[in-house]
Amino acid sequence: EPTVSTYVYAFSQGNKDLKDLLGGKGANLAEMTNLGLPVPPGFTITTEACRAYLAEGDEPVEMASEIDAHLAELERVMGRRLGDAEDPLLVSVRSGAKFSMPGMMETVLNIGLNDTSVLGLAKQSGDERFAYDSYRRLLQMFGSTVLGLEHDIFSDALDALKERRGTTDDLGLVPNDLRELVTTFQGLIREHTGRDFPQDPTEQLRLSVLAVFQSWNTDRASVYRRQEGIPEDLGTAVNVQVMVFGNQGMTSGSGVCFTRDPGTGRQGVYGDYLQNAQGEDVVAGIRNTISLADLADLDRTSYDELLGNMRSLERHYRDLCDIEFTIERGKLWMLQTRVGKRTAEAAFRIASSMLDEGLIDADEALGRVNGAQLAQLLFPSFDPEAERQLIATGMNASPGAAVGRVVFDSATAVEWAERGESVILVRKETNPDDLRGMVAATGILTSRGGKTSHAAVVARGMGRTCVCGAEAILVDTAARSMTVRDGVTVAEGDVISLDGTTGQVFLGAVPVAASQVVRHLEGEETDNDLVPAVARLLEHADAVRRLAVRANADTPDDAARARQFGAQGIGLCRTEHMFLGDRRILVEHLILAEDEAGREAALAELFPLQRQDFVEILRAMDGLPVTIRLIDPPLHEFLPDLTDLSVEVALEDERGPEVERHHRLLEAVRRLHEQNPMMGLRGVRLGIAIPGLFQMQARAIIEAAADLIEEGGNPCPEIMVPLVASDRELSWVREALVDVASDVQKERGVAVPHKIGTMIELPRAAVTADRIAESAEFFSFGTNDLTQMTWGFSRDDVEAEFFPTYLEDRIFPASPFETIDVEGVGALMRTAVRLGREARPDIHLGVCGEHGGDPASIHFFDELGLDYVSCSPFRVPVARLEAGRSTL
Ligand code: ADP
Ligand code: MG
Ligand code: MG
């Protein structure tokens, strides 16, 4: 036995926990080997070797000798030598990074074949067709992945030959055809690279290994990593494995399967199988596969053995497994397994049923699902009542309801999506070159391939709706149109709707309905078994989480919905919308008021309306805290646009009825015009600059609460002052608010429990939080403003400007407006938490920015020790789940 090293591990030396070093594929091949499953022997060249190679641009010295030693051992065990002329040992070279990256990295099969050993293989197997088929595959894979020729160069030559032989099926080619193809392929390699295909088996092996290392840095691998948030510097491992052959006639074949349905999570037998096929044939959609269940009729023994292996793998991994296998002349071989990707729906069903089956406990079940998946289940689906025109049915590869314009290529998908169109990418089948288009599309439709095809696997991973293998559709990419059997033609730009849950394709836009989970949360009865699965995992999250979850809600309707979704109060009730619509004119009166009397009259008009707003919202959240933010935006937001108004005034007849008001308005608009309003007269500044405004709002809040207390209710208002930078601002305002509150309580003769606090949304506030805490019973981090003020960029502009470049060039790992910037903004928060608690140990702390509903950010807020997060009502269930997961 070769000794353990950092560069090469035999399968028998590894295990499933060594993914960092052996990659996912290698670690799991080792695990299956040690479980005693029939795995062709082999060894894994580590990610360490890959990193060293990529850093140095050269192989580490020890690597070559370690490979030699392991290869010698393999030859000894198999009793054959690599590429031997009489009886060649053949191997595959398979990439495998820590995280599975479907189709990203390259695999080369049948290494060891050359002009001599192909004769040996033909003689040993007694199957010339098989030998030449294997050789032409080696030339094809080696040519494209190692030597960098276009895939199409080979497949075009193959297609041309098939056409000449009058067949559409690879199986229609006879041994002589395949021998001819070998010569053609060798010629193509010579023509395009200026050198011959290397006949030396060890050179084939070495070049293939290095090519896998290099493929880590290909563009499409990089795109996938960015999409999935996989670090750039992991590198890939390489597996060298003895070949077994699914292309040795009709008692051989190749297949893929899942231990449960990765689309729904239900138990059953799921997979695709293809007779007389090798490697990627099954997933490439080149020929139509049969279902795994049908394998039972072809080869009962292998089928039973496979099902047994599937059961042991699932019990061993205690999770859904995704498996690749090959049958060589009736003998089953296991070639790969991994914990399988799954849809959101399947994740919840599997976690819940494995909990029932006793395979996992409740904490583990909670760890098996995440907020992003739950968010998907809260997405709407097609309204079952709506009329629709079914034009085709394919496989329900990835659920959801997608409506969009049809495009037939990746570039158009990207282009149209960038200009804001929702697009459906339609392809015969997809391959890794389509990845950008798939990222850009809302839905993906293919006419070929099963649930394990490239399109299906990638779409599920990205949460895109996908229908695949809709065979009734004839895609004409060149003509930019598709035809379905009954003659309907759909051109580029036409709208279709995809139901990824049923596999149906509809012409036109089908109206969309709310999700089952949402209906359940809203109190409707439903018999969908997904609902109890989601409910119990949410319940467990509620039981273990430390963070409370509140909602950002401005209306009684939103407040009621938030409560149904499990919100434990309102963390942000914005009052500015209460000044819009019909009431805008009242704000105008306030702004135009020329003296104190005018201002008081204007405030008096607004007051009863505000009080009524607060009565309703506090009633909807009775018994739970409601944080009401005093008016925040700059006043000019309530006034007409300067240019529009100037034009109107200029065109107006001097004796018109509105003329005087318009002139005064114009003057006010000019006076209030700011170059940089987000850093201007807003928030607490407004409260100080316009006497009586905050007091009016505070009076409305306390009176509303007093009304409710008299009704027997239990209102818990919290008054929040926005955009405070200095403790003096807050102490000034606090004094005014306290006066109002005590006046009202005296007048009404009731005690109204309430709190006064502030938002922390300016860096200055964060670093002086100890002083600010003296006037604040609570802090709520306004992370949107805090992010824009800390970075110094305007959140209303940047997303369209340089953000795409920053994200593309990885200057940002993620938008800091979506996921909290832990290093910068997070550090300010940490400081504010510490200073705030030092000054006032019982200070209550929360977050009310967009980040309050973002999974990654929630984990950070939990770690910071905040008391609650607040987010939009729709994200409340997501936040509950993630707050629970954060404790695991
Ligand atoms: P991917 O990561 O794209 O799935 P794999 O390394 O799994 O690539 O290789 C693709 C396919 O090639 C496998 O599913 C299997 O069918 C075939 N294959 C790889 N190695 C062998 C082998 N040693 N013997 C037979 N088939 C193999
Ligand atoms: Mg594979
Ligand atoms: Mg703000």
Both 162 and 263 in one domain: the answer is no
Q: Which residue has the least CA distance to atom 13 on ligand 1?
A: 279
* Cα(463) to centroid(ligand 1), Å: 26
Tell me what percent of the residues of the chain surpass a pLDDT of 90. Answer: 72
For range 584-604, the mean pLDDT: 89
236 and 333 both lie in a single domain: no
Residue 487 forms part of a structural domain? yes
Cβ(274) – ligand 1 distance below 6 Å: no
Report whether pLDDT(792) > 80.
Answer: yes
**Model pLDDT, residue 78:** 96
What separation in Å is there between the alpha carbon of 100 and the centre of ligand 2? 9
pLDDT band at residue 551, thresholds of 50, 70 and 90?
very high
Domain that holds residue 145: 8-242
The ligand 1 atom at the shortest distance from the C-alpha of residue 336 is 7
How far lies 581's CA from each of 323, 578, 584, 585, 588, in Å?
Answer: 59, 8, 6, 8, 12
Q: What is the 722 CA–ligand 3 centroid distance (Å)?
A: 7
Strand arrangement of the beta sheet that strand 489-491 belongs to: 473-476, 481-484, 489-491
pLDDT at residue 678 greater than cutoff 80:
yes
Q: Which of 50, 257, 454, 520 is catalytic?
A: 454
Task: Give the per-residue pLDDT at 184.
Answer: 97
Annotated binding-site residue? 783:
yes
Q: Is residue 656 part of a domain?
A: no
Identify the active-site residue in 848, 851, 859, 871: 848
Give dist(CA 484, CA 506) in Å, integer: 11
Asked if residue 255 has its Cβ within 6 Å of ligand 1, the reply is no
Helix (H/G/I), strand (E/B), else coil: 593: coil
The mean per-residue pLDDT over the stretch 132-142 comes to: 96
Catalytic annotation present for 716: no
Residues 349 and 264 sit within 8 Å (Cβ to Cβ): yes
754 is catalytic: no
Q: Does the pLDDT of residue 320 top 60, yes or no?
A: yes
Ligand-binding annotation for 784, yes or no, is yes
Q: Which ligand is nearest to the CA of 574?
A: 3
What CATH number did the domain enclosing 293 receive? Answer: 3.30.470.20
Q: In this predicted model, which residue has the larger pLDDT, 57 or 366?
A: 366
List CB-based neighbours of ion ligand 3 within 5 Å: 761, 782, 785
Of all protein residues, whose CA lies closest to atom 11 belonging to ligand 1?
A: 279
The answer to whether position 374 is within a domain reads no
pLDDT tens digits, 502-534? 899 999 999 988 788 988 988 888 888 899 999
559, pLDDT greater than 80: yes
Please tell me if the CB atom of residue 280 comes closer than 6 angstroms to any atom of ligand 1.
Answer: yes
Q: Is residue 275 domain-shared with residue 222, that is, in the same domain?
A: no
* Residue 751 confidence (pLDDT): 97
Task: Give the integer Cα–Cα distance in Å for 228 and 573.
Answer: 35
Asked if residue 569 has pLDDT above 50, the reply is yes
Q: Verify that 237 and 281 share a domain, yes or no.
A: no
User: For helices 556-564 and 596-620, what crossing angle results, to 10°?
Assistant: 30
Q: Find the mean pLDDT for residues 657-663.
A: 80
Confidence category of residue 588, pLDDT binned at 50, 70, 90: confident
Would you state the pLDDT for residue 226? 76
pLDDT tier at 801 (50, 70, 90 boundaries)?
Answer: low
Question: Which residues does residue 328 pair with via DSSP β-bridges, in sequence order?
Answer: 331
Looking at residue 2, what is its pLDDT?
46
Give the count of domains, the chain: 4
On the question of pLDDT at 130 being above 60, the answer is yes
What is the CATH number for 405?
3.50.30.10
pTM (whole model) above 0.90: no
Per-residue pLDDT, 440:
92
The reply to whether 603 falls in a domain is yes
348 token code pair = 């919840």
User: Is the C-beta atom of 336 inside 6 A of ligand 1?
Assistant: yes
In the reported structure, the alpha carbon of residue 221 is separated from the centroid of ligand 2 by a whole-number distance in angstroms of: 16
Establish whether residue 818 lines the binding site of ligand 1, counting it when its CB lies within 6 angstroms of any ligand atom: no
- Specify the residue with its C-alpha closest to ligand 1, atom 27: 279
The model's pLDDT over 735-786, given as tens digits with 9 standing for 90+, comes to: 999 999 999 999 999 999 999 999 999 999 999 999 999 999 999 999 999 9
User: What confidence score (pLDDT) does residue 634 get?
Assistant: 85
Residue 188 identity: L
Instruction: Kindly state if the Cβ of 777 falls inside 6 Å of ligand 1.
Output: no
Asked if pLDDT for residue 621 goes beyond 50, the answer is yes
CATH number at residue 855: 3.20.20.60
Looking at residue 397, what is its pLDDT?
A: 83
C-alpha 469 – ligand 2 centre gap (Å) = 20
- For range 227-256, the mean pLDDT: 92
574 is known to lie in a ligand binding site: yes
pLDDT of 870 strictly over 60 = yes
> pLDDT for 76-86, tens place per residue?
999 999 999 99
pLDDT, tens digit, 9 for 90 and up, residues 694-718: 999 999 999 999 999 999 999 999 9
Report the pLDDT value the prediction gives residue 798, as an integer from 0 to 100.
66
Same-domain status, 773 and 844: yes
Q: Yes or no: say if 514 and 380 are a contact pair by the CB < 8 Å rule.
A: yes
838 annotated as belonging to a binding site for a ligand: no
Any atom of ligand 1 within 6 Å of the Cβ of 283: no
**652 lies in some domain:** no
In this structure, the answer to whether residues 578 and 503 fall within a common structural domain is no
**Distance separating alpha carbons of residues 104 and 678, to the nearest angstrom:** 45
Check if 40 has its Cβ closer than 6 Å to any atom of ligand 1. Answer: yes
Q: Please tell me whether residues 281 and 412 are part of one structural domain.
A: no
Closest-CA residue, ligand 1 atom 8, reads 107
